[in-house]
Amino acid sequence: MAKGFTLEINPFCYLAQYQDNNSWSEKLIEKPHLSKEEEDKLSDEERRVYMLKRNSFEELPIVNYTTQYGMGCFEGLKAFPQKDGSLKLFRPDENAKRMATSMSGLMMPAFPPELFVNAVKGLICANQKAGFTPKYDSDWEKDDFLLGHSVYVRPFSYSEPGIGINLSYKPWVVIVSTNVGTYFMPGNTKALTTPMVRAFPGGTGWIKCSANYVISTLAKKRAIAQGYMEAIFLDAKEQKYFEEGSSCNLFFLLKNDTLVTPALRDTVLPGITRKSIMSLAQQKGIKTEERQISVDEVFAEAKEVFVSGTASGVFYIESITHNGKTAEFNNGKMGEVTHYFLKTLKGIQYGAIEDSFGWMVECKQ
């Protein structure tokens, strides 16, 4: 059974590097592998050896600006199995544009969006032909695809060799994939605000920068150790306005039926799932607002709270604890509006609901 995230990289990977003539060299790499069926029968140690080989790239230097200083960025997107046996990507053009924006924000050459989309398609096609991607399972329909499997695609930048503090002028872009299940497991859906700060105004919070996730990881692990599912960040200046979860955007449905999400500033990542939910809300006639929203307002006025992201999809928050006080939403259950977004988004992604937005892209080259 596919898990949320495991380092079981599929055998076909992609590697590109920026060249002096303003072009990118590209290649699809076939890593050592058996058939999927044969690999499933391997012992844990035998499987570990294969995964180590797939996670090693001789071309990439270990001492560089990415490993030493976090000078890198990444993306995350998914390909979803369809009933007809195909795989479709969810809004890869948006990930491509955000990757280019992140790389430009880090003052390195931006990977062209058209190369990004074609590279991801080629990677998915190669792994599908080799039999390493999941197939559609009608059992997923029973819980609106909450436990559905997909292919998680991870593109990331990687710098040339270097030990001094510097920019990356000839970066690589690496793309790998792994099969995943659900990110948040049903059960504990409690959240805890953290005094840690994810991003400061004027910083890199708007970039999907590798270094940003150090604080996110620490905050989430501390929250889990205290019995919570998720850590929630507040603004850096006043510590009173909601900004993000550890790796997801936040939504609050108020008692007046307005859906509020924190406004995009340079401290909030422009999530693609977030953007999609705003479109779904507008299509359904739900009033939406992008603005600052305080802890006090949420505790007094919110009736449903949920998070969104590529990994998490749409997942409800049963309660938020802040400074020892707890607010529970919808009696600790998933709310009707949250369930609508979950069912509709997953339905579009898995082909059970018509894609009227043109978001899904078939993995054909």
Residues with active-site annotation: 208
Q: Which two tokens stand for residue 37?
A: 């069926």
Give residues with Cβ within 8 angstroms of 90, minimum separation 6. 77, 78, 79, 80, 272, 349, 359, 360, 361
Q: Cα 68 to the chain's mean position, in Å?
A: 24
Distance CA 105, CA 79 (A): 27
Contact 120, 155 (CB under 8 A): yes
Between the two ends of the chain, the Cα-to-Cα distance in Å is 29
List the one residue out of 245, 256, 236 whose CA is nearest residue 304: 256
Distance CA 241, CA 295 (A): 6
Distance CA 277, CA 309 (A): 10
Strands 360-362 and 325-328 come out as unpaired
Q: How many residues does the chain have?
A: 365
CB atoms < 10 A from the CB of 11, how many? Answer: 22
